[in-house]
Amino acid sequence: MKRPPRSIFPSSFLPFLLFALLLYVACGGDGGSTAGTPSPAPSTTEPPASGELVKLVLHTSDEMKYDRKELKVRAGTRVELTLHHTGSMAKAIMGHNVVILKPGTDINAFGQRAMAAVDTEYIPAGDEIIAHTKLIGGGESTSITFNAPPVGSYDFICSFPGHYGLMRGQFIVE
């Protein structure tokens, strides 16, 4: 007797996904609600001279969005990237991170692989990542420090299951 194909998602994942989707819609997931969300920072900042430490901050909440869609630095800088999750939901329900991807990375394929990488907090094996923060829940913050990659534009996403469709932006190196 032929067995049906095995899903990449555990059967217990479906209720969680439905709950997250309902919560997202109920909390104003259409982008119209700003309650509990910090005021967005300017979309771009003037990068400092090469060799300096650049401190960048991203805020996120339980609404599945970053407060900025673009981060800019100059080539040769050292970058300190801080992520603040201002929401209240636990990491297992509404976890967020920042993953900066190499050029040419297929975001959809990466996101699909990330969903299956539960043991590594949704960071799949591979060589597509330039830098990433750890996964955090509401009320938490995390920082990473890394050297800016070569001049170019790099996608950044949240790799928590399903978030990469909404939580993305550009990391620009000039």
Q: What is the pLDDT of residue 52?
A: 85
Mean pLDDT of the 58-69 span: 96
- Mean pLDDT, rounded, of the chain: 82
User: Is the Cβ–Cβ distance between 123 and 173 less than 8 Å?
Assistant: no
pLDDT band at residue 59 under the 50/70/90 scheme: very high
- Domains (ranges, CATH) in the chain? 51-173 (2.60.40.420)
The model's pLDDT over 139-169, given as tens digits with 9 standing for 90+, comes to: 999 999 999 999 999 999 999 999 999 999 9
How far, in Å, CA of 33 to CA of 118, rounded? Answer: 30
How far, in Å, CA of 107 to CA of 144, rounded? Answer: 22
Res 37 pLDDT > 90: no
Q: What is the pLDDT of residue 127?
A: 96
The model's pLDDT over 110-119, given as tens digits with 9 standing for 90+, comes to: 999 999 999 9
Q: What is the pLDDT of residue 162?
A: 94
Q: Where are the beta strands (DSSP E) in 19-117?
A: 53-60, 70-73, 78-85, 99-101
Q: What is the pLDDT of residue 50?
A: 54
User: Is the Cβ–Cβ distance between 71 and 171 less than 8 Å?
Assistant: yes
pLDDT band at residue 21 under the 50/70/90 scheme: very low
Lowest mean pLDDT: which of 25-39, 61-75, 147-161? 25-39
Q: What is the pLDDT of residue 25?
A: 37
